[in-house]
Amino acid sequence: MATKKSSLLLTLLLLIVLSVRLHAQDKYEYAVLDYTPSYKLIEISINGKDYKKLKVEKSEIQGDSDVNAALKEIEKMSSEGWEVFSASTGNNGSTLSLKSFTFFLRRKIK
């Protein structure tokens, strides 16, 4: 009888631990911010649902490698709980090989 009680108690404890661990996983929403200085354009996609384009003033851009306009937008987003978890550079796929900067962001869902 004691082994039945102890195995039942261990099984119950295991189920409780597993259910707590499942609920403890963080949930995130994701965003991609793409910046092409030559086009003076910042594009932001959030969760594959929301999309917006932001024009950058020419006076703000110092060259093809100036990422300050994107960093300003990222700073605004970070005040809303977003964090950058990855970034990359590349060309935008055109034959002109224009530089683009891509930032991947996430925010915990409460």
Cα 14 to chain centroid, rounded: 34
Give the side-chain half-sphere CA count within 13 A for 95: 0
| Site of tokens 């869902």 | 109
Average model confidence (pLDDT) across the chain: 83
Which pLDDT band, with edges at 50, 70 and 90, does 108 fall under? Answer: very high
Of the two residues 4 and 95, the one the predictor is more confident about is: 4
CATH topology for 28-108?
A: Gtp Cyclohydrolase I Feedback Regulatory Protein; Chain: K (3.30.1410)
Domain ranges (residues) in the chain? 28-108
Of the two residues 1 and 90, the one the predictor is more confident about is: 90
Burial group, residue 74, by CB count within 10 angstroms (0-12, 13-18, 19+): buried
What is the reported pTM?
A: 0.72
